[in-house]
Amino acid sequence: MTKKNESSSDRVVLKVDNLRIHYATPQGDVIAVSDISFKLYEGETLGLVGESGCGKSTTAYGILQLVQPPGYIVHGSIEVAGTEVLDLEEEELRKFRWTGLSLIPQGAMNSLNPTMRVKDQIIDVIEAHEGKQSDKEALRERIFGLFQNVGLPNRIYNMYPHELSGGMKQRVCIAMGVALHPTVVIADEATSALDVVVQRIVAQTLVKVKDEIGVSLIVIGHDMGLLAQIVDRIAVMYAGKMVEIAPVANVYAKPLHPYTQLLIESIPSIKERKPLKITEGITHDPRNPPSGCIFRLRCPFAWEHCAEVEPLPIDVEAKHEVACHLFDERFEDRRANAYATLANS
């Protein structure tokens, strides 16, 4: 039984095009995000996954124009509901954050100001954008409304963060993130620091709030189990590249990109004991990526062509694209072989 609306519309609310972000280091630029493009549809929850250091958070910060030196955006385009974010002036951008785009940052719950009451932190977000609110009663009601959205009791209004549990703090962050009804909310590892029980509540809160307020959501995470439960599509990143974007059901049932396959295979299970499958992490220097396919140093199916030509995203079906030469029609035989190997292993 699936209650979740799979029916995210075809209206694009966020369009990232050819975005490239570098971090300058004395030994040369680290390519954190390498010419990625993707779309986020209205009402959709998109999961962004990949191993640590693959550029997930940098992508999020890039979208929000929050990349901090020595990081910088080399090129690209980020369009939110028709607005080109990269063209915004500082002041417009400031307004746009929270209202157009908002971020629930990694470790958000630790970013709450310990010396400020919960209410004041939320009032800040509101007042910073809408000016000082004279109707205190209305403001209070509004905050209670937000509390209700995220399942917090009103009694925390006057509390300090240290008086809340981790899950409650995380929900305060969610409340702040949606306070101004942004078009797009990006939640960076919003639940990773929490216990499974609390994680589940927070994750479901996030999706519920998303539906209620009608925002579109990008969930950055590494827990494939959790993402299976809450997202509509999954974007898989590897070393700064987007290697596959697919509807969630496809990703788990028939992952296409060899790296996605690896990710799916390594999902830990509490249902059956499986032999351990050992792999190594990103094996190239991020300043000096290999020619051709970014994954070829770890890919079991790589051949000469992979070293010569970079695979571009190929549409395999609606809203599903994969960047691997195996899905190029010209190499159909190779793909069949690769899959046969896989089936036998």
With CB under 5 to 8 Å by kind, the binding choice for 3 among another protein, ligand SF4, none is another protein
Interface with ligand SF4 (CB under 6 A), residue from 105, 311, 313, 321: 311
Q: Which residue number, 142 or 332, has a Cβ lying nearer to another protein?
A: 142
How far apart, in whole angstroms, are the C-alpha atoms of residue 199 and residue 194? 5
280 binds another protein per the rule CB under 8 A: yes
Residue of 83, 160, 319, 331 interacting with another protein (CB under 8 A): 160
Is residue 270 at the binding interface for another protein, with CB under 8 A as the rule? yes
Figure out which of the listed residues 82, 90, 317, 333 binds another protein, where binding follows CB under 8 A: 90
204 part of the interface to another protein, by CB under 8 A: yes
- One-letter amino acid at 123 equals I
CB of 194 or CB of 302, closer to another protein: 194
* Binding positions for another protein, 225-264, rule CB under 8 A: 225-226, 228-229, 248-249, 251-253, 262-264
Give least dist CB 113 to another protein, A: 6
Is residue 256 near ligand SF4 by the rule CB under 6 A? no
Which residue is associated with the tokens 């909310």? 185
Give the tokens for residue 334: 């190779």
Name the residue nearer to another protein (CB basis): 162 or 330: 162
Indicate the residue among 35 and 232 with the shorter CB distance to another protein: 232
Find where tokens 């500082």 sit. Answer: 90
Instruction: Kindly tell me the burial class for residue 192, based on how many C-beta atoms sit within 10 Å of its own C-beta (0-12, 13-18, 19 or more).
Output: middle
CB-side exposure of 131: number of CA atoms within 13 Å? 2
Min separation Cβ 329 and another protein, Å: 28
Q: How many CA atoms lie within 13 A of 97 on its CB side?
A: 18
- Asked if 318 is part of the footprint of another protein (rule: CB under 8 A), the reply reads no
Cα(62)–Cα(85) distance, integer angstroms: 10
Round to whole Å and give the CA distance between 147 and 178: 11
Among another protein, ligand SF4, none, partner that 330 touches (CB below 5 to 8 angstroms by kind): none
Q: Which part of the chain contacts ligand SF4 (CB under 6 A), choosing from 20-28, 200-208, 228-236, 295-303?
A: 295-303
Number of H helices, E strands in the chain: 11, 12
311 binds, among another protein, ligand SF4, none (CB under 5 to 8 A by kind): ligand SF4
DSSP codes, 90-153: HHHHHHHHHHTEEEE-TTGGGGS-TTS-HHHHHHHHHHHHH---S-HHHHHHHHHHHHHHHT--
Work out what residue 215 binds among ligand SF4, another protein, none; the CB cut-off runs from 5 to 8 Å by kind: none
Give backbone dihedrals phi and psi of 281, rounded to 5 degrees, phi first.
-85, -165
**Binding flag, residue 339, another protein (CB under 8 A):** no
Q: Does 155 bind another protein (CB under 8 A)?
A: yes
- The amino acid present at 181, given as its one-letter code, is H
CA separation (Å) from 284 to 235, 262, 287, 310, 342?
Answer: 22, 18, 8, 16, 25
Give the pair of three-digit tokens for residue 14: 């966020």
Residue 301 CA to residue 293 CA, distance in Å, equals: 11
Instruction: Report the residue from 112, 216, 299, 321 that binds ligand SF4 according to the rule CB under 6 A.
Output: 299
324 binds ligand SF4 (CB under 6 A): yes
Return the range that interacts with ligand SF4 (CB under 6 A); candidates 71-79, 81-89, 283-291, 296-304.
296-304
Q: Which of 14, 31, 48, 67 binds another protein (CB under 8 A)?
A: 67
Residues lying near ligand SF4 in the complex (CB under 6 A): 258, 293, 295-296, 299, 301-302, 306, 311, 324-326
